[in-house]
Structure 1
């Protein structure tokens, strides 16, 4: 069990290190195998080719140095000139002899820490000389100075670095780095184009879901992405056609229902009046009015305000207008809001949503408080990954009896009415409108003691 828990923790850590976006993950999928392959190739090069070549080159220089040391030791000082001359001409090794000097060992940092050249040269010199020596890689950028302690002095040997170094190393490193950069650039550009097409498709789907008329999108990217774009365009067209047909049908139903209701109202108005029938006529008139009101509410709910297009509107202005209308009917409505909050909205639909919420509160309470503010969306950021996205939050509080917590979700069901003079569609229409904007609405306990309706809309 402990191993399973450690494995889950490790999995969470690895998931946290992975890029969250499709572009980052796609590029990672391409680059990781390439980097692993190049790392294996580099290891084989270092462990095989470079190591063998380095040892052979170091052995050749060390052998020449050992032979020169032996010749210098055997010849008298006055006869050593030919050794210095022939060494420079035939071995490309410059010699200098310092009579009576003693070798001073100085600790020097490695000049080529990533290459085995220095270690291989020191090993080869020790195997062939068996004398105290020192190598200096820092004094001359083009040569290596080897100092060997002899009984009468110190022999200086200046060896060109090209005798110890293979140019194929540069070519190999350039090939590794160049190919990695080239493939990375190609992968990033290619995947960025694919991700751009997916992002545009996602933005179009989000905008269409919020009721904005964006028109057909241009299919682009890979064939699968193009196919998804064309399918999205066909889906938009089918939904628009369905909404248009439903709106036309509902308009016809509205006309067909209101015409007999109008005739009934006229017939009631033309009936003879009298004390004995006045009460019945008033009841019939009230029933007809109730039927007209219910018909209008049902049609509004079924239509869902779907024909209105989204446009920039001031949410605070809408709230103040709805509150002012409610005050004219006798409701005590207080509004706490900023100066303005402009955002994409369907103004008539939002006005109807707010009106339903305030009307519901006014039927059960004496005091209503409406607040408007912006709050950040938890865990969501803008396209650049820096700017936080915001909710526009509107709260409608009242001091009425409220709704028990267990019954609040059921209050949003159509035709679920908590009062005898309601149709049970006010909250259902309000939620339908808010969700069509990409937000949501919930019922909570109010600080005023009654019910709070909290709705959030994406800014």
Structure 2
């Protein structure tokens, strides 16, 4: 099967661009539009066929019947001698034709009355006027507003004006209203049923999307209940299986790393004991070797922390302002000049120990290279396509150190990439891994203090 040419795809995309802004963005709105649009088109076609065919023919026939009766009365009156009594004709018309007649001698209808501009011209009025022109053949005028139950027809005759009052029931019939009520009523009923059904289906999809978003933020949600259509139930079951497999993988990895940590620390402990039992006179060499062993232990702990990623900790509500104040107090005890600016209590479901490690790594990096550090918490709206509206919590760590060149800031997040002597290059990598596990991220920017700014973004 050949694909469409590129120019055709561009043309179709350009033609459909204006309609893209008019269509709903949500699944419920689009599904209801898919149901409602064909329903309206079907109604319009059915109404047009009914009125343009059956109803239009009946309307013209009814109007022709009234116009024929009026024309017959006009013809009879025209054949009577001048001054002759019209009473017998009027009585016969009232009894046999259901028309109320009156004759106004020496009168004139003048110019046809102008219809008010805000009143619509009904098709029945056009049919009646056309039939009167064909079957009466004299100047006439119609009045549809004076009496709600009758139509007044004035015919200009040689001796005066003939007033004819025709009941509207001779021009209308009840099947039109029954047809419209049936058409609109059944359509509304079908639309309500479809809306309720689609709402239930969309609710299941929304729950699945919320569960996926919460799981991506590291929150414990447990398995979700499959509901809705078979495809949605299948997606929910697949999500539960995926969630179980990911958690099983994290648990197995954590247990394996715990065993590796134990196995690696055992020989290091034996090395420490061996260094402590060295004979006298080798203190200088033993001290250098002890420093190497301590460095190895620190590197192993850092590597294991990076690989483990706090996978076993569950998210729970915590006050970010209190956490930031606690980290700032610890940094001050280590000799750093730290200022804190928080808006008050900021409650957020997070993995507390993991987030403490994330912010602690950023503070340690700032304290190692700068003299002044500024911590701040702000909240901004969250507007992303495909995600429900919410807010972001921003935690910024500013310093007045030398900073990192803009071209190398993204490189700093790669594992084992260090811009300072003695560093393992895992601090920023661990911090970003933790932030992304919460559904957020970390970015490096220029700081107002002249150094580096680390901006942690967490979804609320």
User: Which one is further off, 414-423 or 57-66?
Assistant: 414-423
- Kindly provide the CA deviation profile for residues 371-430 of structure 1, in whole angstroms up to 9, marking residues without a partner as x: 2111122456985xxxx5211111111121211222111111111122222211100100
Match of 1:377 in 2: 382
Q: Mark the CA change 1:51 to 1:59 in structure 2 (over 3 Å): closer, same or farther.
A: same
Does residue 358 in structure 1 map to residue 349 in structure 2? no
Q: Mark the CA change 1:39 to 1:114 in structure 2 (over 3 Å): closer, same or farther.
A: farther
Q: How does 1:60-459 map to 2 (within 5 A)?
A: 60-76=65-81, 78-104=84-110, 105-109=112-116, 113=120, 115-274=122-281, 277-379=282-384, 388-459=389-460
Match of 1:28 in 2: 33
How far apart in 1 are the matches of 2:40 and 2:254?
A: 59
Match of 2:50 in 1: 45
User: Which one is further off, 70-79 or 414-423?
Assistant: 70-79
User: Which one is further off, 119-128 or 412-421?
Assistant: 412-421
Secondary structure of 2:21's aligned partner: helix
Unaligned runs of 5+ in 1: none
Task: Determine if contact 1:111/1:138 at 8 Å carries over to the other structure.
Answer: no
User: Which one is further off, 47-56 or 431-440?
Assistant: 47-56
User: Which one is further off, 34-43 or 199-208?
Assistant: 34-43
Deviation at 1:82, TM superposition (A): 2.0
- Kindly provide the CA deviation profile for residues 129-188 of structure 1, in whole angstroms up to 9, marking residues without a partner as x: 121211111111111111112222221111111111132221222232123212221221
Deviation at 1:110, TM superposition (A): 8.0
Deviation at 1:270, TM superposition (A): 2.8
- Kindly provide the CA deviation profile for residues 416-459 of structure 1, in whole angstroms up to 9, marking residues without a partner as x: 12222221110010000000010011111222222111110001
What's the TM-score once normalised by structure 1's chain length? 0.93
How far apart in 1 are the matches of 2:44 and 2:422?
A: 77
Task: Determine if contact 1:314/1:340 at 8 Å carries over to the other structure.
Answer: yes
- Kindly provide the CA deviation profile for residues 318-348 of structure 1, in whole angstroms up to 9, marking residues without a partner as x: 1111111111111122212211211111111
How far apart in 1 are the matches of 2:18 and 2:381?
A: 26
Unaligned runs of 5+ in 2: 1-5
Q: Which runs of 4+ in 1 moved over 4 A?
A: 1-10, 379-383
How far apart in 2 are the matches of 1:19 and 1:321?
A: 47
Task: Determine if contact 1:434/1:455 at 8 Å carries over to the other structure.
Answer: yes
Secondary structure of 2:218's aligned partner: coil
What's the TM-score once normalised by structure 2's chain length? 0.93
How far apart in 1 are the matches of 2:306 and 2:91?
A: 107
Deviation at 1:7, TM superposition (A): 6.7
Secondary structure of 1:26's aligned partner: helix
Deviation at 1:99, TM superposition (A): 2.8
What is the number of residues matched between the two proteins? 453
CA RMSD, 1 decimal: 2.2
Q: Mark the CA change 1:363 to 1:111 in structure 2 (over 3 Å): closer, same or farther.
A: closer
- Kindly provide the CA deviation profile for residues 290-340 of structure 1, in whole angstroms up to 9, marking residues without a partner as x: 111111111111111111111111111111111111111111222122112
